[in-house]
Structure 1
Amino acid sequence: MEFVETNIAEGVETFHHRPFGGEGRQLWWPALPVAPVLVLGSTQSETAIDHTRRSERGIDLVRRRSGGGAVLVGAGELHWFDLVIDRDDPLWSEDVGQAFGWVGQVLQRALSELGTNGTVHSGRLVRTEWSDRICFAGIGPGEVIADTGEKVAGVSQRRTRHAARFQCAVLKRWNAKVMVDLLNLGDNDRERASQELRSAASGIEVPDATFRSAISAALPR
């Protein structure tokens, strides 16, 4: 079986709520975000966000149905794609944590091809003081850590009885202050978070088409 690519040219919220499962084939959905959107995790409270600052910056707010902290989505922010498999797919795992493994390997192979070598995190979720608020402030299963120590790829998972959907984000750039400025924090905590997260992540500056080619070559066949 081979992944079928479908470019999704729709809004971030519509894309996140796109139905999946039961197609009987592996799906690869490259997303093409344009306007900046702050995407909250499924259980993340909106009170964690400074909505005045967010509105002043022209950033919309959307909630995804998979877990984790907030991610800033936009044309200049990250490469984003989803992978979907049905329950009867050979890549399926009943273990939710182990289910991320093959996705991490895809990301690792693609990033290596693009010049960034890294390791797939296979342990439990690594939390920090800020990881409940910001996705790239923590490390989860299947996520890729560059050999230089920064997180370069984030993954979340949504499962039903029939399928699993893995939402993957690879940063184009990382500016901790941009993310932290959107949080509902006091001035001292905002400055401290910006300093502590400065080197938590890093970006991959390659054209979208080059990135998609690397992912295509890295997908299982």
Structure 2
Amino acid sequence: MLTTVWQIERLSGSAGDFHQRDLPDVITPSVWWFDVDHSAVALGSSQPISDIDAAACAQAGIDIVRRRSGGGAVLLEPGDVVWVDVLIPAGHRQWRADVSSSAWWLGEAWRSALSSLGMPGLSVHTASIRHTERSRRICFAGVGGGEVMLGDRKVVGISQRRVRAGARFQCAYYQQWRPSTHELVFGSSGPRADELLDLVAPVSAPAAAVREAFEHALNSLG
């Protein structure tokens, strides 16, 4: 069995530029690590901007960008969130035609990586999508296939964009979870900070250690 060779890139810049980065015409197995240099809230591809308080975001210096994958908004702040895209071509051994199960393998790679860094008790969500009252607005309030959980709290969020040539899985986890900033972003019609406290289980391991462990987990898949 041939071993997958992953092309690794690490980039720094604006969330808007990263989300608009085009997929190559020929997709090869790739890992794109993104370090955002400015605060931004990334709306899902079809999410209405009315879900957030645009004026409050502008006043706080938080950019509003739109990603090409679906789901609710994700707050991206330098040092608080780690974001990585994983690309595979159609026909890759991890490719699944069934969208509902297509990210299970990736969630297992995340679970393995984080468990190796001393974060026990993690599970990969393999049931149907679990919507909540807030998940239309906030990505981390719902649970989809392949996402990594610690009990009822999300650890790694995963969304995907599929094209004929392959798939782009967008993954994120929080090192610091700040409900008060989320309350500001979503405004008076959104959830209060105390309602968001238990949505997320932050990852305390250093980002460099997580990168190494995750890349090792991908390589271990063959």
Structure (1/2) with the larger strand percentage: 2
Please confirm whether the aligned pair reaches a TM-score higher than 0.5, indicating the same fold: yes
Query: Could you say what secondary structure the match of 1:56 adopts?
Result: helix
On the 8 A contact 1:21/1:84 being kept in 2, the answer is: no
Which of 135, 138, 144 lines up with 1:140 in the alignment? 144
Query: Structure 2: where are the runs of 5+ without partners?
Result: none
Deviations 1:144-201 (A, max 9, x none): 1114x31111000000011100000011121223212211434xx643xx33321111
2:34 counterpart of 1:31: yes
Structure 2 CA distance for aligned equivalents of residues 93 and 18 of structure 1: 23
Gaps of at least 5 residues in structure 1 are none
Return the letter of the residue paired with 1:98: S
State how 1:137-216 maps to structure 2 within 5 Å: 137-147=141-151, 149-186=152-189, 190-191=191-192, 194-216=193-215
Q: What secondary structure is seen at the aligned counterpart in 2 of 1:6?
A: strand
Q: Hey, what does 1:105 align to over in structure 2?
A: 108
Contact preservation (8 Å) 2:13, 2:37: no
Counterpart in 2 of 1:131? 135
State the distance in 2 between where 1:135 and 1:75 align: 18
**Number of residue pairs the alignment of both structures matches:** 216
Where does structure 1 differ by over 4 angstroms across 4 or more consecutive aligned residues?
Answer: none
Q: CA deviation at 1:121?
A: 0.3
Q: CA RMSD in A?
A: 1.5
Change (3 A) 1:50 1:218: same
Query: Cα–Cα, structure 1 residues 13 and 180, in superposed 2: closer, same or farther, change >3 Å?
Result: same
Q: Quick check: 1:54 aligned with 2:57?
A: yes
TM-score, scaled relative to structure 2 = 0.91
1:217 matched to 2:212: no
Q: Does the aligned pair in 2 maintain the 1:150–1:201 contact within 8 Å?
A: yes
Matched, 1:64 2:72: no
- Which residue of the partner structure matches residue 121 of structure 1? 125
TM-score, normalization: structure 1?
Answer: 0.92
